[in-house]
Amino acid sequence: MAYGAYLAAKDAGREKNIKFVGIDGLPQEDATWVEQGLLAGTFMYPTPRTRASRSFTRN
């Protein structure tokens, strides 16, 4: 959604006046957009599904 907000702001010519931050997006895409300077940052945290997957692979 942060990238969509960026695109909407870009269409309006306002993208340089706003900082966009993603939350729980796709890790590869969000990281790429941060590196490209399109997003100011992103937050990711493990979901219960991620924790269950890690637990399953450890046992």
SS (H, E, C) 28-47: HHHHHHHHCCCCCEEECCCC
Average pLDDT, the chain: 81
Is the model's pLDDT at 54 over the cut of 50?
A: yes
Q: Quick one: pLDDT at residue 59?
A: 45
What tens digit of pLDDT does each residue of 18-36 get? Answer: 999 988 777 788 888 999 9
User: Helix, strand or coil for residue 56?
Assistant: helix
On whether the pTM is more than 0.75, the answer is no
Q: Quick one: pLDDT at residue 26?
A: 75
Domain that residue 42 falls in = 2-58
- Of 43, 45, 37, which is closest to residue 19 (Cα–Cα)? 37
Total of domains in the chain: 1
